[in-house]
A and B are shown apart, each in its own frame.
Chain A
Amino acid sequence: MRVTFNTIANNVLRNLSNNLTNLEKLQSQLSSGKKIIKPSDDPISTSRLMELKSTLNNNKQYSRNIDFLKTELNLADRVLQNISSTLTRAKELAVRGASDSLSQEDRYAIAKELDQLIDHLVQLGNTNISGRYIFGGYKTTKAPLERIDDVVLYRGDNNVRSAEISNNVLIDASPTGKSLFVDSKMFDTLISLKNALLDGNITQINNVVGKIDVISDEVSSELSSLGARLSRIELTSDLMSDRITKYTDLLSKQEDIEIEEVVLKLYAQQNIYQASLIAASRALQPSLINYLG
């Protein structure tokens, strides 16, 4: 084979540029920390990467939805417990007020306390999270309960809000004031109790005691359904954070370089490049002319 200076020069140039290209690739991987910079680096992984990222983002959103719902339901749970104990207190007051040994003054005093309990219940019914009333159904922007003398009006609606906590799994938020207060006739009952106390109508008072029990039962059943929802959310929440961890991990495996591996490769490639530079300097030595007198 006939070898000319240009043959060698071209070879050297080609090899140097190949080595430099490889070096550049490793360096850009190292500086970006990513295996895949453009789809053609690995089309299949790119597609998986995009899918993983979007699943991860969706799960993060579900996770936010869960946190949001959890905050509300925990609050609703506390409020319902408070309602429940308030009702117990009301029942106690009713039982006491039914006693023959009480004077009418005493009954007035009890009626006064009961009045305050009613106000307290209205307040509980108007619980809000930064201005968002949780017992108003869809009508969350204004207080659902309003007391005008001896009438308590419900201004909410009968729609139960819900939130998506994982793909196509919708969980109800707080129960509506309609089911809590209106359907159970809570306020009607308590106000009639108050009036009975004021009137000293003991039969009527005794009558109401049984009704309060029924109402309490209804609140309890709401409470247990709330508890069931909360534990379901808790489960999903754990699942979701597991999933997020898993996907983050998978994503990192697909997307991120193994630093040790790349650094090692980089060193090897640097050595190759240096070797090729040395080889080049030898190969490109001058010709016969340098040795002629």
Chain B
Amino acid sequence: MISTFFGLEIARRALFVNRSLIDITSHNVANANTEGYSRQEGLVTTTPPISLPSIGILGTGARLSYIRRVRSEFLDIQYRDENRIKSYWDELKNSLEEIEYILGEPTDNGLSSTLNSFWNSWQELSINPESMSVRGSLKERAQTLISFLAHLRNELVLQREQLDKDLEIQVNTVNDIAVQIGALNEEIKRAYIRGQSPNDLLDKRDLLLDKLSELVNFDVTINEVGEAIVNIRDHLLVGINNMVYKMSVSDGRILWEDGPDVYLGNEQGKLSSIIYIRDTVIGIANDSGYEYETGYIGVIDRLTSVIYERVNELHRSGYGLDNSTGIDFFSLVDTGKGIVATNVKINDLILEDLNKIASASVLDAPGDGSNALKIAKISEEFLIDGSFTLEDYWRNQISMLGIISQRASLISNNQKSLVDAINSKREEISGVSIDEEVINMIKYQQAFSAASRILTTLDEMLSTLIERTGVVGR
């Protein structure tokens, strides 16, 4: 036997279920543009039926059993894998482009042209060794060459410092994200233990993991209480019970707070890209001068020191208009430091008296420009590894830069398309469609109205029963 008021209960359930569904719709619409949000749907199930002896099974209405987010974890993994590579090449592409602009080739005011003008000034001197104006213009060109080399070096050093700052910022971002994930883990765990799915918190955590994938390569596993355990190679970043390991930058290296180096891997995320650009492309600025080639700073230092040594060597063996000999053309600003562009100047003796520029190969020979010609011919000597002229060497460096920069730009574009495609797949599954939500809203509204109508009808039926029955015979 069922209760008189049983119908009211079913209607109440219907009202509750449909109002909740409207609330979910409303939440979806509100978050249609929230980053990382995945649409939610309510799972409505029938409530346990009642068995009526000799009649059958009577339904008892519906209930909202679960609210879940619609999301594909597989796409999350794919997204993070590709995004990591994309952000590596993105960063590389941008930095390389900046370096290309710094080096300024192939414009008319690049190093190649400046160097060329310098050698041509010596040529000019070789046919005009007596001319003070030619000597004057040679001095200017030499000065231009030195300051251009110094400018290039300074810009590269500046870029390097900028990257160091960047690295610091990005490492802090990783720490921030780790802390936030740790905190979210705690909240999520509490919901999990209650058997609920904390959809919005999960979305937030997934968004943080997406952001983290821009920076480093990591593995993430979700344990049975819903905590995300994040590992970078075999070191924990976020462990259970909100245990977070931070990293810091020390001497340009990224270290875990408990000591070891953070493993970044190759071509994985922004951090490894910054380090690659800084150490391999730009190189280390060593004030003691060129030793071995580290990046473009090394290239500039190598060019500077070869020009410095060779021009001086030939210059010392020549004679000036005043018969001076054994004089260096270039000298160091600070003799405590090595031959680097920022530490090179034209010898003071020459600046004071341009007659001392040694254009002649013999004594008492103002018309002899053969030593100047020898110096001009340095441009044709195979001074780099015995097989390249200075210009060949520079040209090779520039075309190498062009090639890697072009490659970076290509891969970054491809990777962007890939990430975009994965993103639109994600959007396809998890995105909020306003049309869909509006249709749902109408559906739920109709159901709600109908349930209200049922309630009214039941109410009328009961009031008939209560107020009108038993009136007969009164």
Interface residues of B in 95-144 (CB under 8 A from A): 96-97, 100-101, 103, 105-106, 108, 110, 112-113, 116-117, 120, 123-124, 126-128, 130
Query: Residue-by-residue, is A85-102 near B (CB-CB < 8 Å gives 1, otherwise 0)?
Result: 000000000000000000
The residue from B399, B423, B436 contacting A43, defined by CB atoms under 8 A apart: B399
Q: Find the A residue at minimum CB distance from B129.
A: A140
Which residue on chain A has the smallest CB distance to residue B33? A6
In the complex formed, the residue of A with least CB distance to B404 is A40
Which residues of A lie under 8 Å from residue B420 when comparing CB positions? 10, 14
Query: Is A277 positioned at the interface, with any CB of B under 8 Å from its CB?
Result: no
The answer to whether B369 touches A161 (Cβ under 8 A) is: yes
Contacts of A58 in B (CB 8 A): 116, 120
Q: Are B405 and A54 in contact (CB under 8 A)?
A: no
Is B427 an interface residue when CB atoms closer than 8 A count as contact? yes
A211 interface residue, CB < 8 Å from B?
no
Looking at the assembled complex, report how far the CB atom of B81 sits from the nearest CB atom of chain A, in whole angstroms.
Answer: 20
- Specify the chain B residue showing the minimal Cβ separation from A5: B434
Quick check: B101 and A38 within 8 Å, CB to CB? yes
A 135-150 binary contact with B (CB < 8 Å = 1; else 0): 0111111000000000
Interface string of B433-456 (1 = CB under 8 A from A): 111101100100000000000000
Q: Which of A41, A44, A64, A138 has the most CB of B within 10 A?
A: A138
Confirm or deny: B424 has a beta carbon within 8 angstroms of a beta carbon on chain A.
yes
Contact residues in B for A57 (Cβ distance below 8 Å): 113, 116-117, 120
Chain B 386-402 interface 0/1 with A at a Cβ cutoff of 8 Å (1 = within): 00000100111011111
Residue A68 is within 8 A (CB to CB) of chain B in the complex: yes
Q: Taking the nearest CB of chain B, how far is it from the CB of A95, in angstroms?
A: 38
- What 0/1 readout, one digit per residue, does chain A (2-22) give for beta carbons within 8 Å of chain B? 111111001100100000000
- Contact yes or no, A42 B116, CB < 8 A: no
- Tell me whether A46 and B130 are in contact (CB under 8 A): no
Q: Answer whether residue B149 sits at the interface, using C-beta atoms and an 8 A cutoff.
A: no
* A292 at the B interface (CB under 8 A): yes
Q: Is the CB of B438 within 8 A of A42?
A: no
B399 touches A44 (CB 8 A): yes
Whether A288 and B435, one on each chain, are in contact in the complex, defined by CB atoms closer than 8 angstroms, is yes
Report the bound CA distance from A6 to B430 in whole Å.
11
Residues of B within 8 A of A292 (CB): 438, 442
Within 8 Å by CB of B432, from A4, A40, A136, A139, lies A4
For B121, the closest partner residue in chain A by CB is A61
Hey, which chain B residues are within 8 Å of A64, CB to CB? 124
Within residues 307 to 321 of chain B, which ones have a CB less than 8 A from any CB in chain A?
321
Interchain CB contact under 8 A, B438 and A289: yes
* Most chain A CB neighbours (cut-off 10 Å) among B110, B360, B403, B439: B403
| Shortest Cβ distance from A38 into B: residue | B100
For residue B248, CB closer than 8 A to chain A, the reply is no
B429 at the interface (CB under 8 A from A): yes
Is A39 within 8 A of B127, CB to CB? Answer: no
Cross-interface CB contact of B123 among A43, A47, A65, A289, cutoff 8 Å: A65
Q: Which residues of A contact B32 (CB under 8 A)?
A: 5-6
- Indicate if the CB atoms of B409 and A40 lie closer than 8 Å: yes
Q: Which of B423, B427, B429 has the most CB of A within 10 A?
A: B427
Q: Is the pair A39, B401 in contact by a Cβ cutoff of 8 Å? A: yes
Contact (Cβ within 8 A) A157 B365 = yes
**Nearest CB on A from B218, distance (A):** 26
Query: Are A43 and B406 neighbours in the complex by a CB distance under 8 Å?
Result: yes
> Given the complex, which residues of B lie within 8 Å of A7, measured CB to CB?
424, 427-428, 431
Q: Which of A122-138 contact B (CB under 8 A)?
A: 131-133, 136-138
Instruction: Please tell me if the beta carbons of B431 and A161 are within 8 angstroms of each other in the complex.
Output: no
A40 to B413, CA, bound (A): 14
CA distance A64 to B128 in the complex (A): 11
Residue A185 lies at the interface, judged by CB distance under 8 Å to chain B: no
Contact A10 B424 (CB under 8 A): yes
Decide yes or no whether A113 CB sits under 8 A from chain B.
no
Nearest chain A residue, comparing its CB with the CB of B366? A141
Which residue of chain B lies nearest to A39 when distances are taken between CB atoms in the complex?
Answer: B402
Residue on B with the closest CB to A130? B131
CB < 8 Å: which of B117, B127, B428 contacts A163?
A: B127
> When the two chains form their complex, are residues B405 and A39 in contact, meaning their CB atoms are under 8 A apart?
yes
Q: Does A164 sit within 8 A of B, measured CB to CB?
A: yes
CB distance from A277 to the nearest CB of B (A): 20
Q: Give the contacting residue for B368; candidates A5, A46, A161; CB below 8 A.
A: A161
Query: Which residues of chain B are within 8 angstroms of A47 by Cβ–Cβ distance?
Result: 395-396, 398-399, 402
Chain A residues with Cβ under 8 A from B400's Cβ?
Answer: 43
**Is B249 an interface position by the 8 A CB rule?**
no
Q: Interface digits, B404-418 against A, CB 8 Å rule (1 contact, 0 not)?
A: 011001000000000
Contact A61 B124 (CB under 8 A): yes
A47→B388 CA distance, assembly (Å): 14
Q: Which of B103, B113, B370, B436 contacts A53 (CB 8 A)?
A: B113
The contact of B100 among A4, A39, A42, by CB within 8 Å, is: A39
Closest to A176 in B: B367
Provide the residues of chain A in CB contact with B127, threshold 8 Å. 65, 68-69, 163
Query: How far does the alpha carbon of A55 sit from the alpha carbon of B368 in the complex, in Å?
Result: 26
Q: Is A249 an interface position by the 8 A CB rule?
A: no
Residues of A within 8 A of B369 (CB): 161, 163
A50 to chain B, nearest CB (A): 5
A287 to nearest B CB, angstroms? Answer: 4
Q: How far apart are the CA atoms of A131 and B129 in the complex, in Å? A: 13
Decide if A49 is an interface residue (CB 8 Å cutoff).
yes
Complexed CA–CA distance, A217 and B103 (Å) = 61
Q: Are A163 and B126 in contact (CB under 8 A)?
A: yes
Q: Does B362 sit at the interface, judged by CB under 8 A? A: yes
Contact A159 B368 (CB under 8 A): yes
Q: Encode A159-195 as 1/0 by CB contact (under 8 A) with B.
A: 1011110000000000000000000000000000000
Of the A-B pairs whose beta carbons lie under 8 Å apart in the complex, a sample of 9, sorted by A's number, is A7-B427, A38-B100, A38-B402, A40-B406, A42-B402, A46-B106, A46-B399, A138-B367, A255-B106
What residues make up the interface of A, taking CB atoms closer than 8 Å to B?
1-7, 10-11, 14, 36, 38-44, 46-47, 49-51, 53-54, 57-58, 60-61, 64-65, 68-69, 131-133, 136-141, 157, 159, 161-164, 255, 287-289, 292
**Further 14 A-B residue pairs, CB within 8 A, beyond A5-B431, A57-B120:** A3-B428, A4-B427, A7-B428, A10-B427, A38-B100, A39-B398, A40-B97, A40-B403, A47-B395, A65-B123, A68-B128, A138-B365, A141-B130, A288-B439
- Going nearest first, the 9 A-B pairs with the smallest beta carbon separation are A39-B402, A43-B402, A140-B367, A138-B365, A40-B405, A4-B431, A47-B399, A138-B368, A38-B100
Please give the residue numbers on chain B whose beta carbons come within 8 Å of chain A beta carbons, in ascending order: 32-33, 96-97, 100-101, 103, 105-106, 108, 110, 112-113, 116-117, 120, 123-124, 126-128, 130, 321, 360, 362, 364-370, 373, 391, 394-396, 398-403, 405-406, 409, 420, 423-424, 427-429, 431-436, 438-439, 442
